[in-house]
């Protein structure tokens, strides 16, 4: 019997690269939101929140040194609690701020020679951070394991689609899977640095939020609307155009739209839809949860509100989902010290001026690390945990993309205009434009459809096992 799927969830997935809670891609099935309880009692079911982050916006930037001492103590305690294990334990190490902070605290807690770290890189230099991880490991004196990954991505992606359960298009799932697999060769539990960007203003969108706030204050409501209308006439590729357009939106809406940069933003998404499907989802609102989170944050500080949105949406539905499923795919337990509830509650009290300072995020975390590692590592530009998906799509994945997007099944689903999809693929394949994230979203969506809607999804091991007839 065909499984039912949700048109609204599909529209949200294309906008965000994941299906936001409480939706799932399955009709009539919903996720339990983070920090909520579901209670079944006397024939009735209720859902209620049991915990939240107390962003109040009343922190004092003049207390920077006191905040720094509290941060150091809380990171140390959070890491110490997560070192309790009856099986071999280690950590992921990218050489960035967050994983380095965790590994440094591990070295302090149990001795550097007992800390096992794992790092991976790709052949492509732009996607290889091993030299940074190596520098940190050497400086801290930990036992570092490195691996250059040469993936068979055409074989890998159907397996990842199975492990992910829902369409999921954050391509950093690929390196997360490989670093988990490499770590599992040495340990059974690994600590990660996830959570540092979302609570300590580590993303570019947080700097954009700061700029837009200053622009709104300078221009006023009327000036902001005029700037937004003028920007709407400029090509989206012109630097700063998006931020200027945002000045015509409410702060909550502008914050939400930052989560769709480079993806299927409104008009682009709609241009791919078949006419009937476009009508079916015309009232869908992928950003409703983002606006709700922004407006419900008790702090008046726009940066606090943006971080609160990150915690409520992207952190839970993308980052934590990705790390949990990719580590579990190789039977590795991942632990996240920077997401300890006491550390989160403390981070919510730290004023945004001590997170985003002089145009750089994670100010207080950087100061903490300056006590342990070379300043050159602390000050290096942020490098996301990425994979060379643009090159893969034009190279080893091209036959798969041709098959998934061009064999007619995509058209028969009634979701997309196959001619528009073909044009998108041709532009990327021929090097005319970079559609890597959009195409990756379409590929992962179609892999999900074929496994979980068209057919009977089987675990990767079962997929490789010959049938009884073949064995005979």
Q: Is 31 exposed, middle or buried (0-12, 13-18, 19+ CB in 10 A)?
A: middle
Q: How confident is the model at residue 377 (pLDDT cuts 50, 70, 90)?
A: confident
Question: How much is the pLDDT for 468?
Answer: 32
What is this structure's pTM?
Answer: 0.93
Question: How much is the pLDDT for 173?
Answer: 95
Rounded CA-CA distance 116/4 in Å is: 45
User: Which phi and psi angles does 122 have, rounded to 5°?
Assistant: -105, 165
Q: Which domain holds residue 123?
A: 53-388
CATH number of domain containing 323: 3.40.50.620
Residue with tokens 């070295």: 107
3-state SS, residue 11: helix
Q: Is residue 264 part of a domain?
A: yes
Rounded CA-CA distance 369/105 in Å is: 10
Average pLDDT over residues 406-422: 92
Q: Is residue 171 part of a domain?
A: yes
Rounded CA-CA distance 183/170 in Å is: 21
Rounded CA-CA distance 281/278 in Å is: 5
Q: Is the peptide bond before 246 cis (omega within 30 degrees of 0)?
A: no
Q: Is residue 413 part of a domain?
A: no
Question: How much is the pLDDT for 465?
Answer: 40
Q: Is residue 122 part of a domain?
A: yes
Please answer whether residues 351 and 62 qualify as being in contact, where contact means their C-beta atoms are separated by less than 8 angstroms: no
Q: Is residue 447 part of a domain?
A: no
Rounded CA-CA distance 254/258 in Å is: 7
Q: Is residue 1 part of a domain?
A: no
The percentage of residues in the chain with a pLDDT greater than 70, rounded to a whole number, is 92
CA dihedral 409, 261, 322, 102 (to 10 degrees): 160
Q: Indicate if the pLDDT at residue 63 is higher than 70.
A: yes
3-state secondary structure string, 394-455? HCCCHHHHHHHHHCCHHHHCCCECHHHHHHHHHHHHCCCCCCHHHHHHHHHHHHHHHHHHHC
| Residue 448, C-beta contacts closer than 8 angstroms, at least 6 positions apart | 25, 161, 164, 166, 167
Highest mean pLDDT among 89-93, 260-264, 452-456, 457-461: 89-93
Q: Indicate if the pLDDT at residue 467 is higher than 60.
A: no
Question: How much is the pLDDT for 80?
Answer: 97
Rounded CA-CA distance 306/370 in Å is: 27
Q: Is residue 14 part of a domain?
A: no
Tokens for 47, please give them.
Answer: 């859902």
Average of per-residue pLDDT values in the chain: 90
Going 92 to 201 to 15 to 439, the CA torsion angle's sign is: negative
Q: How confident is the model at residue 266 (pLDDT cuts 50, 70, 90)?
A: low
Q: Indicate if the pLDDT at residue 292 is higher than 70.
A: yes
Nearest to 295 by CA among 255, 247, 261, 257: 255
Domain count, the chain: 1
Q: Is residue 420 part of a domain?
A: no
Is pLDDT larger for residue 345 or for residue 464? 345
Question: How much is the pLDDT for 50?
Answer: 96
Per residue in 120-158, pLDDT tens? 988 776 666 788 899 999 999 999 999 998 889 999 999
Question: How much is the pLDDT for 242?
Answer: 78
Q: How confident is the model at residue 93 (pLDDT cuts 50, 70, 90)?
A: very high
């Amino acid at each position: 019997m065909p499984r039912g799927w949700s048109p609204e969830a599909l529209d949200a997935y294309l906008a965000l690269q994941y299906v936001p809670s409480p939706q799932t891609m399955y009709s009539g099935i919903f996720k339990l939101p983070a920090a909520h309880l579901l209670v079944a009692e006397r024939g009735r079911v209720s859902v209620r929140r049991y915990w939240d982050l107390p962003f109040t916006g009343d922190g004092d930037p003049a207390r920077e040194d006191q905040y720094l001492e509290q941060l150091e103590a809380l990171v140390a305690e959070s890491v110490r609690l997560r070192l309790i294990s009856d099986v071999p334990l280690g950590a992921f190490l990218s050489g960035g701020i967050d994983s380095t902070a965790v590994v440094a605290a591990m070295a302090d807690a149990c001795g550097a020679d007992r800390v096992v770290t794992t790092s991976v890189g790709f052949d492509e230099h732009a996607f290889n951070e091993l030299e940074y991880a190596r520098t940190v490991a050497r400086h801290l004196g930990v036992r570092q394991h490195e691996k250059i990954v040469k993936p068979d991505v055409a074989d890998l992606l159907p397996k990842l689609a199975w492990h992910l359960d829902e369409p999921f298009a954050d391509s950093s799932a690929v390196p997360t899977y490989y670093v988990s697999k490499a770590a599992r060769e040495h340990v059974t539990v690994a600590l990660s640095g996830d959570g540092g960007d979302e609570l300590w203003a580590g993303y570019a969108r947080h700097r954009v939020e700061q700029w837009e706030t200053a622009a709104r204050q300078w221009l006023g409501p009327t000036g902001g609307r005029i700037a937004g209308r003028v920007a709407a006439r400029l090509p989206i590729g012109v630097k700063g155009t998006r931020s200027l357009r945002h000045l015509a939106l409410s702060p909550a809406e502008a914050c939400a739209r930052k989560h769709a940069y480079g993806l299927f933003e409104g008009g682009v998404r709609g241009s791919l839809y078949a006419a009937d499907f476009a009508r079916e989802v015309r009232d869908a609102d992928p950003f409703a949860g983002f606006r709700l989170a922004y407006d419900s944050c008790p702090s008046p500080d726009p940066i606090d509100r943006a971080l609160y949105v990150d915690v409520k949406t992207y952190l839970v539905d993308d980052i934590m989902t990705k790390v949990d499923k990719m580590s579990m795919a190789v039977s590795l337990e991942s632990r996240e010290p920077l997401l300890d509830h006491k550390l989160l509650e403390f981070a919510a009290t730290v004023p945004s001026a001590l997170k985003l300072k002089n145009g750089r995020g994670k100010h207080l975390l950087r100061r903490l690390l300056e006590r342990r590692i070379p300043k050159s590592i602390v000050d290096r530009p942020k490098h996301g945990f990425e994979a060379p998906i643009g090159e893969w799509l034009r190279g080893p994945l091209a036959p798969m993309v041709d098959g998934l997007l061009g064999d007619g099944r995509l058209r028969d689903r009634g979701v997309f205009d196959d001619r528009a999809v073909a044009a998108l693929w041709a532009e990327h394949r021929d090097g005319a434009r970079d559609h890597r994230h959009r195409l990756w979203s379409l590929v992962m969506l179609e892999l999900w459809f074929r496994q979980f809607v068209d057919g009977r999804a089987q675990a990767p091991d079962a997929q490789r096992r010959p049938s009884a007839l073949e064995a005979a």
